[in-house]
Amino acid sequence: MSQFDGKCLLITGGTGSLGKVLTHRLLSGEMGDPAKIIIFSRDEAKQHYMRLDYHNQISATDEVIYRNFQQKLEFRIGDVRDFNSVAAVLPDVDVVFNAAALKQVPTCEYFPYEAVMTNISGAENIVRAIQSHKLSVETVVGVSTDKAAKPVNVMGMTKAVQERVFIQANMRCPQTRFVCVRYGNVLASRGSVIPLFHDQISHGGPVTLTTTDMTRFLLSLDDAVDTIFAAVSTAQPGETYVPQAPSALMAHVATALIGNRDIEVKVTGIRPGEKIHEIMIGDEEAERSVQRGRWYAILPMLPELLGETAVVGCLKKEYSSSDDVMTLEETIDMLKARHLMLEDQSQQETELLR
């Protein structure tokens, strides 16, 4: 029997770019045949267009997914910030993927309490609903970010607290397994650097860099979903899964995309809350991180969850985007392999996952 056979799955923030790819892969059957997939979000327009996207998938290559969509997909308007809304959608749910988030770094800096309400109170509402109503949810996956490691901005701080809310929830709701996943920038997502560079190059420049030595982890949406599936399959309660991801200099990304074009590069300075290098695993976490295939698993610090097993961490220091940076040639090869060069681009719209 496969992982999700006959299960009811809930994706909060399910109309975002991660939610869309996660939904598509769940409908494909690679993790089993779920009975229902509930898309839970507060944006009725995004739900409407997501529904239309599936209605329009009638070609032979999409036949299985299209048929599954008609039978299995359910859209629910609601907000993780509202306890009653969360409590109403959770009964009969087996697995929760919490992708709802306020995730743009500058936005969180200017509206910090809004970030607290979505990223922290939203997680607490899920836990409290399960605890208060004694719901038989099997697994909750908290979708986090590299910015939660040694956070310097509001988005990272609220995501770090969200992780702790979910990790400690294993003690409040011992019948439910709470795990987290953490990853970095998603390639070509709206609001991220590659579409910005594409737009700037298309308009003749200049291409803007915040600083010439900035590095970032780079992942595709499918890499992000792979991390979620790995955590669901093998993570123990309270563990946080982190992918082993390539990283690049943003200056190399800009150079690769500009190519032979006569485009000016302009250094503008770091935005509010921005880091020069991203850290996926902090120094303190490195001591309790272990290898799990293509991922690192950060073990919980709470002794009630860790147990008496002696932990020998596989990392000697923090896991940073500055550790093993791709060369310019490797960056160009990766962008070409992912069809992210300017000449490769389609008009498909995606959304920020940060």
Active site amino acids: 147
| Sign (positive or negative) of CA dihedral 111, 215, 251, 199 | negative
Q: How far, in Å, CA of 93 to CA of 133, rounded?
A: 13
* Assigned token pair, 44: 């009725």
In Å, how far are 158, 162, 321, 328 from 169, measured between CA atoms? 16, 11, 30, 44
48 torsion bin: left (phi>0), alpha (psi -120 to 50), beta (else): alpha
How far is residue 84's CA from residue 87's CA, in Å, rounded to a whole number?
A: 5
Contact residues for 194 (Cβ-Cβ < 8 A; gap 6+): 187, 188, 253, 257, 335, 340
Are 10 and 97 spatial neighbours (Cβ–Cβ below 8 Å)? yes
